[in-house]
Amino acid sequence: MQIDVFTLFPDAFAWFERQRHVANALAGGHRLEYVNYRDHTPLGAGQVDDTPFGGGAGMVLRVDVVEAALWARYGRDPVQLRQDRRVIVLAPGGTLLDDALVGELAREEALTLLSGRYEGFDQRIVDHFASDEVSIGRYVLAGGELAAMVLCDAVLRKLPGALGHPDSALEESFSDALAGAPEYPHYTRPAEWRGWRVPDVLLSGHHARIREWRLAQSAARGTGSADGPLP
Ligand code: ADE
C-alpha cells in the first residue's frame, strides 16, 4: 500500500515511523510519503492559508494551494483523482473512523490523506477533491497530523506482516471474530496479586472452556458502536 500524507508538518511523523508495526510495514514494501503544501504553493512567502470570508476566527487552508500540491504529486486534475483513489480529508466533522472503515481502507492499494491546520479546509477542497471526510472523534485537534497518524496506525496494523504475530489482528476488539464487540480481558503472571486472582478457567488449560469464557466476556462488554457509548 502507498499512503501519501499531505501536511504542513512532515517532521511530525518521524516518531510514528519508528513504531514497530509501522517500521515492519515499511520494511515489507508498503510506503508512507509526505507532501508539504508549502512546497507547492503558488502564492508568495510560502502562504497556504487565508482569513475566512464572512469573518471569524482562525485561518483557512486555501483551495488553490491544495490543488497545486495534488497536481504536483499526481500530475493530473485533482477533481479526477478521487475517482480512482481514496482522497481523505481529516476533519472533526467527518465520518467517524471505526474498525469497519479501517478494514475497508486497508484493502485499498493507495490512500491520500489531507491534513489541515488552522480553522480547517476551504469547503471546496472537501467538495471537489476528496472522496471521504474522516474524523477520529468528536473533538477538535489543533491539526490533522495526529488524526492522520491514528488512521495510518490502525490501517497499517491490519496489513499482513505488520504485527509480530499474524493472529493478533484477527481476534481483537471490534473484529468480525468477536462479532464487533470489544475484546475479552487478558491476564498474565502473577496468577494472584494482592488477593486478586486470575479467573480459574484461564489457568485450567481447557481450551474449549477458555474460548467459551472469552467469547462470553467479549459479548458482555457489549457491541458498542461508533454511534453511541458502550452500554
Ligand atoms: N482535525 C482536527 N480535529 C480532527 C478530528 N477530530 N478528526 C480528524 N481530523 C481532525
Residue range 103-132, pLDDT digits in tens: 999 999 999 999 998 689 999 999 999 999
Residues 6+ apart with CB under 8 A from 28: 159, 160, 161, 162
Task: For cell 484493502, name the residue.
Answer: 107
194 pLDDT higher than 70: yes
Residue nearest atom 10 in ligand 1 by C-alpha distance: 91
134 contacts 86 by C-beta, under 8 angstroms: no
68 contacts 76 by C-beta, under 8 angstroms: no
Give, for ligand 1, the residue of 98, 101, 146 to mutate: max count of ligand atoms closer than 8 Å to Cβ.
Answer: 146
Q: For the chain, what is the mean pLDDT?
A: 92
**For position 226, what pLDDT does the model report?**
38
What spacing in Å lies between the alpha carbon of 215 and ligand 1's midpoint? 33
Q: Residue 189 carries which DSSP code?
A: S
**For position 160, what pLDDT does the model report?**
85
- Cα–Cα dist 135/152, whole Å: 13
- For residue 47, the number of C-alpha atoms closer than 13 Å in the C-beta half-sphere is 12
25 contacts 156 by C-beta, under 8 angstroms: yes
All cell numbers assigned to 206: 481447557
**For position 164, what pLDDT does the model report?**
73
202 pLDDT higher than 60: yes
**For position 166, what pLDDT does the model report?**
67
174 pLDDT higher than 50: yes
- As for ligand 1, residues whose beta carbon falls within 6 Å of it are 90-92, 135-137, 139-141, 144, 147
- Cα–Cα dist 183/179, whole Å: 10
